Amino acid sequence: MTKYSLYGKMVLYALLRRRSRMVVALLAVAIGATVLSGLVTLYYDVPRQMGREFRSYGANLLLLPDGDNQVMPEQAVQLAAGSLPQGKVIGMAPYLYDRVLINSQPIMAAGTDFAAVKKVSPYWQITGQWPAPGSGGAVVGAEVAELLRLKPGQTVTITVPGAEQEKKLPVAGIVHTGGSEEDFIFVELPLLQQWLGKPGLVSVAQVSVQAGEGELTAWMQQTAGTGGGITPRLVKQLTQSEGLVLGKLQALVYLVTLIVLLLTLICVATTMMAVVTERRKEIGLKKALGAENRSIVLEFLGEGMVLGGLGGLLGTGCGFYFAQVVSLQVFARPISFQPLIALAAFGAAVAVAGLACLIPVRMATGVEPATVLRGE
């Protein structure tokens, strides 16, 4: 009992008496732990966050009608989308296509849900405004707008083949995408379904899912055959490129983390070593007074671990704060606290501090006390 209380006292006073040096060492360990916990947290979180950014490329999964069917029921689409991993679906935009006449020119019309389109295809550039829900407003592709000389605010008259009646719709906005969307006129889905006499039917559904190619392929195999008249297809251009680029990014962050960690740990170790080397004389004196090598090593190890523990605690907190700031700045989303990473960073700080103490102490205990005490 007394033996341990003496040990505790020695470690405590060694730290307290040499305050300025210990602050230096503590700071070094804390920096190391900050870098460690901050970067590892980022490394863990970056692919997830970046994966979300990549969804700005638009839908990576298409739901199409089976076989030669032109349309499929909306409910079946909802059902299929519902079986996707929950929380990973960014949005699902249903489309119903058919030809209509505007100024007796044949134009492709698409019925869709504008709120979903905004989520699935964030790259749409709208001149004018998105139509308010339920207002019956239309969005006109840039090519069509140029052809028919339409501007936002004007009214467009649409004739549906088969139905004699003409429909008048306000033009809410013009869409520029540089793709095939510019050749369409978009109206609200229920409206087009009603005109065409196809209630509850859609031609295609674009789904934006935050998942890699492997995950989506697995889902497709799982649901194959049970689709209820639906064939899912991957947009290969997106899924494959995303996997490729994300892989590279992860490798980049991984390597950067590794190199920064390595250098920081060496930095911490050298500082600790410098602080301990200074105390060779003290070691010599203890040995001359009859202390065993083992107990000297144990004492320094204890000191190092106390320092490592304090610095690790401080640094882990700072590191998480740093990762949080980065995540909010870059991705505008908070990061989740990873207890495992915090624990690992704390453990690494204690281990590195302890080891860095041991090396110079080992060297010091190896020499004769007389040599050390005499000074060199």
Partner 1 sequence: MFWRMLQGALVRQRRRMFMMALTIALGVSLTTAMLNVMLDVGDKVNRELKTYGANIMVTPRAASVVKDLYGVEAAGGGNQYLQEADVGKIKTIFWAHNIVTFAPSLAAEAVTPDGQPVTVVGTWFEHYLPLPTGETAVTGIKALKPWWQVEGNWVDDADGQAAMVGSLLAGKLGLRPGDTLAVRLGDGRQPGRFRVAGLFDSGGAEDMQVFIPLKTVQQALHLEGKVGKVEVSALTTPENELARRAAQNPQNLSVAEWETWYCTAYVSAIAYQIEEVVGGARAKPVRQVAESEGAILQKIQLLMLLITVLSLAGSALGISNLLTASIMERSKEIGLLKALGATDGAVALLVLAETLAAGTAGGIAGYFAGLGFAQIIGWSVFGAAVAAKGMVIPLVMVLVALVTLAGSLPAMRMLLVLRPAEVLHGR
Footprint (CB under 8 A) of partner 1, residues 332-371: none
Q: Interface with partner 1 by CB under 8 A: which range of 76-84, 194-202, 218-226, 250-258?
A: 250-258
Nearer Cβ to partner 1 (132/224): 224
Look at the block and give the residue holding tokens 């050390």: 372
User: In whole angstroms, how close is the CB of 250 to partner 1 at the nearest point?
Assistant: 9
**307 vs 276: CA distance, rounded Å:** 12
> Residue 242 and residue 256: Cα distance in Å, rounded?
21
Q: Which of 8, 13, 53, 370 binds partner 1 (CB under 8 A)?
A: 53
Give 55's DSSP letter: G
For 65-85, b/e burial (b = at least 16 CB within 10 A) is beeeeebbbbebbeebbeebe
Sole binder of partner 1 in the list 41, 112, 121, 365 (CB under 8 A):
121
Q: Which is nearer to partner 1, 224 or 263 (CB)?
A: 263
Give the footprint of partner 1 on residues 129-158 (CB under 8 A): 143, 146-147
Q: Is 259 in the site for partner 1 (CB under 8 A)?
A: yes
One-letter amino acid at 220 equals M
Tell me the sheet residues that pair with 98: 109
Q: Is the dihedral of CA 279, 13, 308, 294 positive or negative?
A: positive
For the segment 152-211, give every residue that binds partner 1 (CB under 8 A): 176-179, 183
Distance CA 83, CA 227 (A): 10
Least gap, CB of 52 to partner 1 (angstroms):
10
Stretch that binds partner 1, among 55-63, 74-82, 129-137, 198-206 (CB under 8 A): 55-63
State which of residues 10, 14, 50, 358 lies at the interface with partner 1 (CB under 8 A): 50
Q: Does 54 bind partner 1 (CB under 8 A)?
A: yes
Q: Where are the alpha helices (DSSP H) in the chain?
A: 2-17, 19-54, 74-82, 114-120, 142-148, 189-196, 213-223, 236-277, 280-288, 293-331, 339-366, 369-374
Parallel/antiparallel/unpaired status of strands 166-176 and 138-141: parallel
CA dist., res. 86 & res. 84, Å (int): 6
Number of residues that bind partner 1 (CB under 8 A): 76
Please pick, from the candidates 6, 9, 13, 56, the single residue that binds partner 1 as defined by CB under 8 A: 56
For the stretch 314-348, what's the b/e string if a residue is b when 16 or more beta carbons lie within 10 angstroms of its beta carbon?
bbbbbbbebbbebbeeebeeebeebeebbeebbeb
For the bound state, the minimum distance from the C-beta of residue 115 to partner 1, rounded and expressed in Å, comes to: 19
Min separation Cβ 153 and partner 1, Å:
17
**What is the Cα 224 distance to its own chain's centre?**
30
Q: 125, 135, 226, 336: which one contacts partner 1 (CB under 8 A)?
A: 125
**Residue from the set 159, 217, 223, 240 that interacts with partner 1 by CB under 8 A:** 240
275-334: which residues touch partner 1 (CB under 8 A)?
275, 277-278, 322, 325-326, 329-331
73 versus 223: smaller Cβ distance to partner 1: 223
Tell whether residue 100 is a contact of partner 1 (CB under 8 A).
no
Specify the 3-state DSSP secondary structure of 368. Answer: coil
141: β partners: 175
Which of 26, 25, 35 is CA-nearest to residue 321? 35
The residue (of 59 and 296) whose beta carbon lies closer to partner 1 is 59
| Residue 123 CB, nearest approach to partner 1 (Å) | 4
Stretch that binds partner 1, among 63-71, 197-205, 253-261, 288-296 (CB under 8 A): 253-261
